[in-house]
Amino acid sequence: MADNVKPRVKAPKSASAGEVVTIKTLISHTMESGQRKDSDGNTIPRSIINRFTCEFNGTMALDMTMEPAISTNPYVEFDVTIPESGDLQFTWYDDDGSIYEDTKSVEVG
Amino acid sequence: LAAGAVALTVLPFRANAAGEDAIADFTGGADVAEGGVNLDAPEIAENGNTVPIGVSAEGATAIMLLAMGNPTPGVATFNFGELAGSTMASTRIRLAGTQDVVAIAKMADGSFAKATKEVKVTIGGCGG
Amino acid sequence: GNWGRLAAQQSLTQDQLLQFDTFGNVSLIHVTDIHAQMKPIYFREPEMNIGVGPNKGDVPHVTGADFRKLYGIDDGSPSHYALTYNDFSALAREYGKVGGLDRVATVINAIRAERPDALLLDGGDTWHGSYTCYHTQGQDMVNVMNALKPDAMTFHWEFTLGSDRVREIVEGLPFAAMGQNIFDAEWNEPSEDFKDYQFFERGGVKIAVIGQAFPYMPIANPGWMFPEYSFGIRDERMQEMVDEVRGQGAELVVVLSHNGFDVDKKMAGRVTGIDVILSGHTHDALPEPVLVGETIIVASGSNGKFVSRVDLDVRDGRMMGFRHKLIPIFSDVIEPDAEVAAVIDEQRAPYLDQLTEVIGKTDSLLYRRGNFNGSWDDLICDALLSEREADIAMSPGVRWGPSILPGQDITREDIWNVTTMTYGKAYRSEMTGEFLKVILEDVGDNLFNPDPYYQQGGDMVRIGGMGYSIDISKPQGERISDLTLLKTGEAIDPAKTYVVAGWASVNEGTEGPQIWDVVENHIRKQGTVTVAPNTSVKVTGV
Ligand SMILES: [Mn+2]
Ligand SMILES: [Mn+2]
């Protein structure tokens, strides 16, 4: 697992039933493109987050594939419909097989 | 103004064939209409390493984003799920120089639509 | 000589300069791009200021005799001297220096005497541009400006103090620090450190002033000094802000802008509901506002040389009319305000010996403004070529920096006035001929792209040791040709490497001596400097 990979999410804590909410996510990650060379001229191997998903109570909202052209510390902003109280589940998939997760609960009152 | 140590390529790139191939893979060779896709991008990138891009397309199931002048043009594909609150998404991308950014939307009816915007990447450094 | 000067000053009085028939119910006072010039200076306006695309031939892209003809200004008149470049040295000897924030204070006080609740708005580029500003990290200007009691300001070069210092100052400011386009870069949200707008109740009118900081901050200046922030024009958000303040009952909407003039013109055509744009950054001084739709755009010059007064008649939630005056600050005619003069002296006192040390003398008029050349820049390039032993020198096309008359001493303060910045190191590096062309094409497009939203508002990079031709009508990549190494007369070889010295690199970690030391050493060696007219740039396609 890469070092210091830390997901951060901005999501509302509450919503009304059926409300569309805006989600912002960031994950600290170098997103090594595989196109850079080190000081000895050797190619630095590619190591990126290649997929990001957001589900709500197990139902998909966004499934994003990422290429090396996504910037360091990938940022994604998108909208999710909140049908009921439950959990937003965020998952980032690393080239090295690591999976990083975060969860945010949303209360429908 | 930049010091010479930076071997930055700032002249407009020519779109390379890989971009067209990536589009063909996504569309299966289907026709791509102009319009119906919004692509938000700055006129000039504040930093070519992290350029904010937003896409949206009414009725899309997926939107593919390409940087046509990058050595590898693919950037990302947003697949909107059942609970997507809209068919809109934003991210930050790397641009190796001034070039066209392209968004291709796959619509629910199987058709495709496209938007293109040129983003300038400059050495910068002079001012009032 | 003295006779001419006395006659000129006798014919010009403070009352004349301040004469204004108070109008309507609201007064705005605009100052901008002072670049830390607290004391009177000379400032020559540009000879060349080319407009492109939709702005070709329009103000502010009119200079010299054409400018005087356009505005009905008599040759040899005070306005000729203040607003155009011709006969500058001779007229400067007659009319004397311009600016000085103690004189600016007198003008502001006089306007406030007629309209006590006039709004004073500062367009930014305030905490940058002098020896004392550098050594106090902007505190000198903060102290002097606070004495003028502004109501709001926006920003550009301030950010080159570094974001920590900017926040430290802003937290203590007794007025609004604004920029609707200053965003938190991490989360792409409006920054909480700056206000989008501020409401004022003046003359029974609810006024909203919206801030617009310089949009291209991380491009034109080192982004690594303020990485938390993102800028951009964000005209869609500007529309939202206008709609928001109108929704809250604003009867007059003023944008305090550091966009640059052509960007403001374009923005005025895209955003509806702005009554007045107070325009800064491109340092243009216009005797009349420019009207775009129902928006008036006011340009108030730079370096403390002008103050704009705009009186407005606002009734039934609408701007019904305006009266405007661009007031030139003739330093020998306007009485300094004693209180502000004392504050200025207090800022300078600890540094007075350093400031006033004479380094050399000039036989030539030293000035900067103009799209391609300035004799100050030629001198700086000469200093870089000789002190850094380079083939080619580059100096940034900034628009700040006062002028020095032939025969005048050059003090350390004078050198700092045209060189000071927080990233002033004079690098020496190798560049290929191809890369040199890439740089010229890149900067050329920042100036001559026909779409103002692609323009950053500086002038062309100044080059020493190399000549070139530029066809401004061509697109990027095709404007620049005939690159020639002046010392040999040979064409620049794209594949060959040249030693280039320059300064103001936006890259972190640039190494070299500070540019002001390079220039000081050069001038000291010369004793008296002479700058030959620069004929090495051929401009076509105008
Ligand atoms: Mn300025
Ligand atoms: Mn500026």
C152: left (phi over 0), alpha (psi -120 to 50) or beta: beta
Q: Which of residues 161-220 of C touch A (CB under 8 A)?
A: 186-188
**Per-residue model confidence as pLDDT tens digits over C25-58:** 999 999 999 999 999 999 999 999 999 999 999 9
Q: What is the pLDDT of residues A60-79, one digit of tens each?
A: 999 999 999 999 999 999 99
For residues C406 and C90, what is the distance between their CA atoms, to the nearest angstrom? Answer: 10
Of B6 and C279, the structure prediction assigns the larger pLDDT to C279
Q: For the residues C192-205, what does the mean pLDDT come to?
A: 97
Please report residues of A whose CB lies closer than 8 A to that of C228.
Answer: none
Sign, CA dihedral C178-C183-C189-C192, equals: negative
Walk along chain A (109 residues) and give the pLDDT tens digit of each residue: 566 789 999 999 999 999 999 999 999 999 998 888 888 989 999 999 999 999 999 999 999 999 999 999 999 999 999 999 999 999 999 999 999 999 999 999 8
B51 near A CB under 8 A: yes
Weakest-pLDDT range from B7-21, C90-104, C194-208, C470-484: B7-21
Q: Convert the pLDDT of each residue in C271-309 to its tens digit.
A: 999 999 999 999 999 999 999 999 999 999 999 999 999
Question: CA-to-CA distance for C414 and C41, rounded, in angstroms?
Answer: 10
Q: How many CB atoms lie within 10 A of CB C213?
A: 29
- Which of C283, C445, C476 shows the shortest C-beta gap to B128? C283
DSSP H helices in chain A? none
| Cα distance between residue C262 and residue C274, in whole Å | 16
Cβ distance C156 to B124 less than 8 Å, yes or no, reads no
3-state secondary structure at position B71: coil
For the segment C430-452, the average pLDDT, to the nearest whole number, is 95
Give every CB contact of residue C515 below 8 A, 6+ residues apart in sequence: C380, C384, C419, C424, C425, C426, C503, C504
A16 close contact with B: CB closer than 8 A: no
What is the C-alpha separation between A32 and A94, in angstroms, rounded?
A: 11
* pLDDT above 50 for C482: yes
CA-nearest residue to B7 within chain C is C435
The predicted model gives C462-489 an average pLDDT of 97
Neighbouring chains to B with at least 3 Cβ pairs closer than 8 Å: A, C
B91, A33: Cβ pair inside 8 Å?
Answer: no
Q: Number of CB pairs < 8 Å for A and C?
A: 8
Nearest to C163, CA basis, from C112, C102, C213: C213
Most distant CA pair in chain B, distance = 52
CB contact under 8 A, B126 and C461: yes
Q: Which of C230, C458, C507 sits opposite B3 (nearest CB)?
A: C507
pLDDT range class, residue B8, cuts 50, 70, 90? very low
Q: How far apart are CA C173 and CA C165, in angstroms?
A: 13
Contact C215, C170 (CB under 8 A): no
pLDDT level of residue B11 (50, 70, 90 thresholds) = very low
Of the candidates B18, B26, B16, B21, the one whose C-alpha atom is nearest the C-alpha of residue B104 is B26
> What letters, b where the CB count within 10 A reaches 16 and e where it falls short, cover C466-485?
bbbbbbbebebbebbeebbb
CA distance C434 to chain B (A): 11
For B89-100, what is each residue's pLDDT tens digit?
A: 999 999 999 999
**Chains near C (3 or more Cβ pairs under 8 Å):** A, B
CA-based nearest residue to C17, from C339, C309, C344:
C309
> What is the three-class DSSP state of A90?
strand
Rounded mean pLDDT of C449-474?
94
Whether B89 and A62 lie within 8 Å, measured CB to CB = yes
Q: What are phi and psi of C411, to 5 degrees?
A: -95, 170
- Return the ligand number nearest the Cα of C36: 1
Shortest distance between the Cα of C190 and any Cα of chain A, in A, equals: 14
Q: Look at B12 and C438 and tell me if their CB atoms are within 8 Å.
A: no
User: Looking at chain B, which residue has its C-alpha nearest residue A21?
Assistant: B85
Q: What is the mean pLDDT of residues C244-256?
A: 98
pLDDT value for C333: 96
pLDDT at A1: 53
- Between CA C41 and CA C52, with CA C47 as vertex, the angle to 5 degrees is 125
Chain B residue at shortest CA distance from A34: B72
Report yes or no: A8 at the C interface, CB cutoff 8 Å: no
Mean pLDDT of C492-515: 96
Residue B1 has pLDDT above 80, yes or no: no
The pLDDT value given to residue C2: 56
Please list every residue in chain A whose beta carbon sits closer than 8 Å to the beta carbon of residue B103: none
The mean pLDDT of C17-21, rounded to a whole number, is 96
**What is residue C305's predicted lDDT score, i.e. its pLDDT?**
98
Cα C225 from Cα C215, distance rounded (Å): 16
Distance of alpha carbon C438 from its chain centroid, rounded?
26
Predicted pLDDT at C7: 73
Confirm or reject contact between B92 and chain A (CB < 8 A).
yes
CB-based contact B51 A65, cutoff 8 Å = no
CA distance A28 to chain C (A): 11
CA distances from A14 to A60, A84, B83, C253 (A): 19, 10, 16, 36
Ion ligand 2: residues, CB < 5 A: B 128; C 125, 156, 281
Distance C125 CA to ligand 1 centre (A): 5
**Contact criterion met (CB < 8 Å) for A59 and B81:** yes
Tell me which chain C residues have a C-beta less than 8 angstroms from the C-beta of A24.
Answer: 187-188
Could you tell me the pLDDT band of residue C3, with boundaries at 50, 70 and 90?
low
The residues, ordered by sequence, that sit 6+ positions from A29 with a Cβ below 8 Å of its Cβ are A2, A5, A48, A49, A72, A73, A74, A92, A94
Residue B91 to residue A70, Cβ atoms within 8 A: yes
Closest chain B residue to A70, measured at CA: B93
CB contact under 8 A, A81 and B75: no
Q: Inform me whether the pLDDT recorded for C4 exceeds 90.
A: no
Q: Which residues pair with B93 in a beta bridge?
A: A70, B51
How far is ligand 2, taken at its centre, from the CA of residue C223, in Å? 15
Q: Give phi and psi for C275, each to the nearest 5.
A: -85, -45
Residue B18 — very low, low, confident or very high, per pLDDT cuts 50/70/90?
A: confident
